[in-house]
Copies of this chain bind each other. A is one copy, B any other.
Amino acid sequence: MTQTTAKDHAGEQDVDLTSSALGHSHTNGHTNGANGINGVNGHASKLPELDASRITVQLADPNAREVPNEAVANTGDETICTDHMITCKWHYKTGWTAPELKPYGPFSLMPVASVLHYATECFEGLKAFRGFDGKLRIFRPNLNAERMLMSTLRIALPGFDPKELEKLITILVAQDGPKWLPRSRPGSFLYIRPAIIGTQAQLGVQASKEALLFITLSFMPRMDSPPGGMKLHTSPEDMVRAWVGGFGYAKLGANYGPSLLATAEARARGFGQILWLYGKEGYCTEAGASNFFVLWKAKDTGKLQLVTAPLDDRLILDGVNRRSVVELFRNRLAGEVEVVERKYTIDEVLEADKEGRLIESFASGTAFFICPVSLIHHRSQNVKIPMGKTGEMGEYTAKVKGWLKDIMYGIEEHEWGVVVTKE
């Protein structure tokens, strides 16, 4: 019944536990101190790190599978992956094993594996492109690799040097690119999915002492030009995607599963995605699993502004395409369009619409690329958004989409389009 100070407890300081835990992992180097597990278990250092140069290779029969047409590849209920995948195991006592490039196939997981119960999982999504110049490119893979490390640490899985992950991604693309993204199909892409899961076969709410990192390469439908543009339904009042102090900024499985119910319902009503609002104010955050942009004339100055939610409250994903859009607008449209990263509400969007100031809107993400938004349904109102002269998308949406496409497919040589040289 006595109150005492923290001094009664040795060594603790009153800092935030999360920041503190993340701090450990960074000061211990990227890897094995990741979640304090090794420290707790007395294996704090010198365990093998993730190392792409140690990769072992077991090739599939190159003639066993044919590459389907893009249209056919995306019609079934299963994702078609390429011939190979890369896997790498981690154990808290032995660190990272040598990565393996091997034929794509199923994993064996115990029923009590951590990932199946506690969502100890995170992932990334990026694309490999076959350029019109014949070259194979990956778009800004360093950003995905760095974000994957951030997500991995957030879900208490083991860290790694993101440069090694980037190398592994490149190795897989170099291996399967020539067959699955042939030079005869310029302008096509494959989807790269790195992921890490907690595999320890132990029930109990605790950080996983074993993990599996893996990378697959697969077909994915083109989702950037739904007929008539993407229609958004604002999020239901009884459902929030992410919240301040949560983990909306990290690419955790835990951000996706709980959103499926509302998304399925919205789709059944003819909408493409949910526009996730936050708080009583109704701040616009993300469109489905994409970042969300509005182009309007500013209320006060009448000048053109591209508005998107800010990163600083950590509600939204720091999207690679989001960042690229912001950078391209700032570099190439300076003076013409002002880019504003700030909180803005659905009411501001409705007001801009009423006053004729709403010019364009689009979503950006790896899956949806740059996807024009043609309608927002909010409570009892439908806001129709201009789709340009052709009806396909607005002028600025088309402009930024074109710039990005040119970089991805090698029409413009740009440092963001990293050429895979060893294919």
Stretch of A2-10, A60-68, A409-417 on the interface side: A2-10
* Residue contacts A-B, CB under 8 angstroms, 13 given: A1-B384, A1-B385, A11-B269, A17-B235, A77-B202, A78-B202, A104-B111, A116-B197, A117-B121, A119-B254, A154-B261, A240-B244, A253-B257
Pick from B17, B206, B240, B259: contact of A243, CB below 8 A. B240
Interface string of A11-34 (1 = CB under 8 A from B): 110111111111000000000000
- Say if the beta carbon of A40 comes within 8 Å of chain B: yes
A34 to chain B, nearest CB (A): 10
A260-B207 in contact (CB<8A): yes
**Do A9 and B236 have beta carbons less than 8 Å apart?**
no
A71 contacts partner chain B, Cβ-Cβ < 8 Å: no
Contact present for B201 and A79 (CB under 8 Å):
yes
- Residues of chain B lying within 8 A (CB to CB) of residue A9: 269-270, 377, 382
Interface assignment of A388: CB less than 8 Å from any CB of chain B: no
Query: CA separation between A40 and B263, bound complex, in Å?
Result: 12
Across-interface contacts of A36 in B (CB, < 8 A): 264-265, 268
Q: How far is the CA of A52 from the CA of B221 in the complex (A)?
A: 39
Q: By the criterion CB–CB under 8 Å, are A260 and B118 in contact? A: yes
A205 and B289: CB pair below 8 A?
Answer: yes
Q: Which residues of B contact A170 (CB under 8 A)?
A: none
A77 to B93, CA, bound (A): 11
Contacts of A116 in B (CB 8 A): 115, 121, 195, 197, 253
User: In residues 184-223 of chain A, which contact B (Cβ within 8 Å)?
Assistant: 191, 193, 195, 197-198, 200-207, 209, 214, 216, 218, 220-221
Within 8 A of B (CB), among A378-404: 379-386
- Once the chains bind, are A20 and B258 in contact (CB under 8 Å)? no
A233 to B258, CA, bound (A): 27
Q: How far is the CA of A35 from the CA of B203 in the complex (A)?
A: 28
Provide the bound-state CA to CA distance between A22 and B238, in Å.
12
Q: Is the CB of B256 within 8 A of A119?
A: yes
Contact assessment for B254 and A18 in the assembled complex, using a CB-CB cutoff below 8 Å: no
Q: Which of A131-139, A302-310, A319-327, A349-357 contacts B (4 or more CB under 8 A)?
A: A349-357
Instruction: Report the Cα distance A353→B259, complex, angstroms.
Output: 41
A11-B269, A21-B264, A35-B260 are known contacts; what are 16 more A-B pairs with Cβ within 8 Å? A17-B236, A17-B239, A18-B261, A19-B236, A19-B238, A22-B261, A40-B267, A78-B110, A112-B193, A112-B216, A116-B195, A117-B123, A154-B261, A204-B220, A239-B246, A240-B244
Interface check A155, CB cutoff 8 A: yes
A246 CB to closest chain B CB (Å) equals: 6
CB under 8 Å from chain B, chain A span 89-129: 104, 106-112, 115-121, 123
Do A384 and B4 have beta carbons less than 8 Å apart?
Answer: yes
Contact yes or no, B35 A236, CB < 8 A: no
> Is A336 an interface position by the 8 A CB rule?
no
Which residues A28-85 have CB closer than 8 A to chain B?
35-37, 39-40, 77-79, 81, 85
A358 within 8 A of B: yes
- A205–B5 Cα distance when bound, in Å, is 48
The CA of A49 and the CA of B306, in the complex, are separated in Å by: 51
- Rounded to whole Å, the gap between the CB of A113 and the closest CB of chain B is 8
| Contact residues in B for A4 (Cβ distance below 8 Å) | 381-382, 384
Tell me the residues in window 151-166 of chain A with beta carbons closer than 8 Å to chain B beta carbons.
153-156
- Please, how many angstroms separate the alpha-carbon atoms of A123 and B81 in the complex? 30
Looking at the assembled complex, report how far the CB atom of A294 sits from the nearest CB atom of chain B, in whole angstroms. 13
User: Cβ of A266 < 8 Å from any Cβ of B?
Assistant: yes
Are B263 and A202 interface neighbours, CB within 8 A? no
User: Across the interface, do A3 and B261 meet the contact criterion of CB distance under 8 Å?
Assistant: no
Least Cβ–Cβ distance between A395 and chain B, in angstroms: 15
Q: How far is the CA of A67 from the CA of B395 in the complex (A)?
A: 71
CA distance A257 to B19 in the complex (A): 16
| A348 close to B (CB within 8 Å) | no
Contact with B along A263-306 (1 / 0, CB 8 A): 11111111000100000000000001100000000000000000
Q: Does A347 contact B (CB under 8 A)?
A: no
